[in-house]
Amino acid sequence: MAGVLMFVMIMMGVNGNAGAISRADFPTGFVFGTASSAYQFEGAVNEGNKGMNIWDTFTRQPGRILDFSKADIAVDQYHRFKSDVDLMKYLGMDAYRFSIAWSRIFPNGTGEPNQEGIDYYNSLIDALVEKGIQPYVTLYHWDLPQALEDRYDGWLSSQIIEDFGNYSYTCFKAFGDRVKYWVTFNEPHGFSLHGYDLGIQAPGRCSILGHLFCKNGESSTEPYIVAHNILLSHAAAFHTYQHHFKVKQDGHIGIALDANWYEPISDKDEDLYAAKRAIDFSIGWFLDPLFFGRYPHSMKALVGNRLPEITPKMSKLLMGSLDFVGVNHYTSLYARNDRTRIRKLVLQDALSDSATITTSIRGGVPIGERAASLWLHIVPWGIRKLTRYIKDNYRNPPVLITENGMDDFNGPFIDLRTALQDVKRINYHRDYLSNLSAAIREDGCNVQGYFVWSLLDNWEWNSGYTVRFGLYFIDYKNNLTRIPKASVQWFKRLLLKETNI
């Protein structure tokens, strides 16, 4: 009950705050950066002795990607990282969050490290450090080596914990003298559900409507098994770092969670509880074990024995196994109680376990203007409510906004002049940053950094090249030329401590 009362206080006590914004509105030492992932940026899938990963396999299945594209080239950062680092320097960014492709370090998932892969990331890290840009490294951003998927079904096996620990150790050893911030996993909640419940992302497992959409999988159990193994892998990496590298390297370990804010659709108790459950089944799924050594009570009650047990030994390993919380936040939704549970009866999957229905509409009015993606509504006040929720429920830990941004449509009939005048993106970042500043200054939230998704337009998973998130326009028809959008100058002014209106 106390948790719900806290939730109500947050809901009622936070208002939007937008207007002029400058770097001076953030604490000294606050980090601004951009974010990326290896699979969406690097390309060079068959170079440097890189092994296949589950997304290489997934994109070759017909109908999986909206525009039938692959990320074999992506935006070719593998070959163009030095000039991309120059773009970051021009912007005035403090940091760059990128991921390491596991299959570049271990082409077969395990065994002897691939020196060509290590050399590539050393070159990228050195280029960043030379320009005064701090590397923030994600160890796993969805691209599991295909060899491990073939060998033992990847994240469904507890063997992955040992193999991820070995991979992490190798990365800490090779790069930790210069990398001081490590993110173990990117969006484990989304990865577990999209890959093993809905089957819409790699490895594409599900059992919805009798395996109508997927050949293999069990949607009611596998997401929980995968998430459990991710949590234990995260803890293994954290303790490996503490034991072998912390004293000498003095780095920090965190995890990046996909985190919508869920606003109760009404002030009825049932909807207040529903919104709280929606949060329990998203960030609570991971933060409760990492802070309290257990899964949320609502998950235990609704999932029952399908939820893996956290033993006392596991609880001890999990509790406190992070130095910061990464938050990938883009949008907010309304939540209401699912009274009938018809969806659960029909789908028999994990996503319907929370007994919550989420929607972007209330009384016929959208929660916010939509970006290009159907799921992305622009709701600046949500980031303030979310960070305050984390402060009040998880002892105000250090938080990094590890991703935030919006997309525009990409199409053959959109002219370059229009694409470069991305005023909507400027307004998005201005308003989200204004609310984030208020969360820090007025609410006391311990937020220490903000990473824009993304520096460049890029290959966007199931959407392929149909949307653009970048500050820089990628001319896919002209040698992947990087062209600055209006948002580049806006951020440059912000980061040079000038006032942005």
**Strands 332-337 vs 95-99: parallel, antiparallel or unpaired:** unpaired
Q: How far is CA 500 from CA 25, 389, 427, in A?
A: 11, 28, 10
Catalytic residue among 42, 218, 403, 460: 403
d(CA 248, CA 435): 38
3-class DSSP state of 62: coil
**Strands 481-484 vs 472-475: parallel, antiparallel or unpaired:** antiparallel
Catalytic residue among 42, 187, 263, 460: 187
CB 431 within 8 A of CB 500: no
d(CA 108, CA 161): 16
Return contacts of 290-295, CB within 8 angstroms, 24+ apart. Answer: 290/231, 290/234, 290/235, 290/255, 290/318, 290/319, 290/320, 290/321, 290/322, 291/319, 291/320, 291/394, 291/395, 291/397, 292/319, 293/318, 293/319
d(CA 74, CA 68): 13
The string of DSSP letters for 429-478 reads HHHHHHHHHHHHHTT---EEEEEES-SB----GGGTTSEE--SEEEETTT
Q: Is 498 an active-site residue?
A: no
76 class by beta-carbon count within 10 Å (0-12 exposed, 13-18 middle, 19+ buried): middle
CB 238 within 8 A of CB 183: no
Q: Which residue has the tokens 């073939």?
A: 150
Q: Is 403 an active-site residue?
A: yes
Q: Show which residues are catalytic.
A: 187, 403
